Amino acid sequence: MNKKTNPGLKIICLNRKASFNYFFEDLFEAGIVLKGSEIKSVREGKVNIAESYAVEKGGEIVLINSHISPYKQASYSNHSPTDDRKLLLNKKEINKLIGKMQRDGFTLVPTKMYFKKGKAKIELAVAKGKKQYDKRATKKSRDWNREKARYIRKSS
C-alpha cells in the first residue's frame, strides 16, 4: 500500500485494526533495526504489522510478531520472517514507555510503518484495550455516519 501524505514520507503499511481495538493515548516515532534482506523486503512492501506489539526486553523496546517476508534474491543470508526487531528510541522515551506499560497497564501497538528521508520508521501508539461494548459503539457511530452521508447525498 503506497500512499503519499507529505513529501519525504512514504507509507509502507498501516495497522487499521489497531484503532478499532484500542484507545490511543500517545504516538511515538521510532527507528527500526533491520538486516539487509529485511530492508529490501520492506522496500517491496511485503510487511504485515497487524498482529504485532512492542515490549520491553533488557532495557530496550522490541517489536514482536511483525512479519517481513523473506527476500527472494537473498539466498543463504535470508532472515526469519517473524524475528524480534529492536526499536530505536531515546533513553528518556524508553523509560517513559516502560513506566506507562508497568504502572498504567498500557500496551505498545504499531500503527504504521513508513520511510522518512530513506530510513524505515514505525509509529507506536501507547494504547489501552477497548471493551466489547466500546467496539460496538464505535461500529454503531461509524455506520450512522455512513448512513447520514448517503442520505445527504441522495437528498441534494
The set of residues, in sequence order, having a beta carbon less than 8 Å from that of 91 and lying 6+ positions away, is none
pTM, full prediction: 0.79
Which domain, by its residues, includes 68?
3-130
Based on the structure, what is the number of domains in the chain? 1
Is residue 125 assigned to a domain? yes
Is residue 103 assigned to a domain? yes
Is residue 33 assigned to a domain? yes
Tell me the pLDDT tens digit for each residue of 97-108: 998 888 887 899
Task: Give the domain CATH number at 124.
Answer: 2.40.280.10
Kindly tell me if the per-residue pLDDT of 7 is higher than 90: no
Is residue 144 assigned to a domain? no
Is residue 123 assigned to a domain? yes
Radius of gyration for the chain, computed over Cα atoms and rounded to the nearest angstrom: 18
At residue 30, the pLDDT reads 94
Kindly tell me if the per-residue pLDDT of 87 is higher than 70: yes
Is residue 66 assigned to a domain? yes
For residue 86, which of 41, 31, 47 has the smallest C-alpha distance? 31
C-alpha cell at 8: 519525504
Kindly tell me if the per-residue pLDDT of 3 is higher than 80: no
